[in-house]
Chain A
Amino acid sequence: EAGVAQSPRYKIIEKRQSVAFWCNPISGHATLYWYQQILGQGPKLLIQFQNNGVVDDSQLPKDRFSAERLKGVDSTLKIQPAKLEDSAVYLCASSHNTDTELRAVYEQYFGPGTRLTVT
């Protein structure tokens, strides 16, 4: 079974520029997550999708960040305009199904991440 795919793996941009990240979850996984991980910290959830709907975007800085999962499969996260403090690794994760009675729904599997450097 193929894992979570992400691209690009690395990106360097100047502040105020825009950037987009792509994620393709594990086949059949209904739930997709975007996390931000700053060096020395644990991942922080930015947004969670269930199929093509947003479940939680409470920690997404909506003035500059946006995300979509139009067909309920792959997803794009965008930052516009970028700030220096956005330098981090952006991780995509997916989990198996939407039935909360099954514990497997909470087991999240991560992609390789995109390391963003804003200069």
Chain B
Amino acid sequence: QKEVEQNSGPLSVPEGAIASLNCTYSDRVSQSFFWYRQYSGKSPELIMSIYSNGDKEDGRFTAQLNKASQYVSLLIRDSQPSDSATYLCAVIDSWGKLQFGAGTQVVVTP
């Protein structure tokens, strides 16, 4: 079983709609969770961090964490073509190591 699992996509989202990305993790001890955005040919860019159960909002992005279900999600509201990218979920494991999922490709269609 992989440490961090994401649907690979592509997730096709109409412009202006909400994109919903999901991530599950296996290490129950994990306390720190991150979403990175990676454009094609570029390096990962940190867009959200979340440490407590519940929702955290930053602009058009909302991260949701449920530690009991070992589940973290990212919502992108009012999706724009510039949001087209691969979104990587990352989790700090019990060894303090950042474990990445394989990423979900999002395609926002005009």
Contact = CB atoms under 8 A, between A and B. Distances in A.
Is the interface on chain A under 10, 10 to 19, 20 to 34, or 35 or more residues?
Answer: 20 to 34
Interface in B38-68: 42-46, 49, 51
A109 B49 CA distance: 12
A106 B43 contact: no
B56 to A, nearest CB: 12
B44 A106 contact: no
B106 interface: no
Contact of B44 (A41, A91, A103): A91
Contact of A106 (B4, B36, B98): B98
A110 B102 contact: no
Is the interface on chain B under 10, 10 to 19, 20 to 34, or 35 or more residues?
Answer: 20 to 34
Nearest to B32: A106
Given A42-B4, A42-B88, A42-B102, A108 B97 contact: no
A43 B44 contact: yes
B84 to A, nearest CB: 17
Interface of B: 4, 32, 34, 36, 42-46, 49, 51, 88, 90, 92, 95-98, 100-103
17 contacts: A42-B4, A42-B90, A42-B101, A42-B103, A45-B97, A56-B95, A56-B97, A91-B44, A100-B96, A103-B32, A103-B49, A106-B32, A106-B49, A106-B92, A110-B36, A110-B45, A111-B43
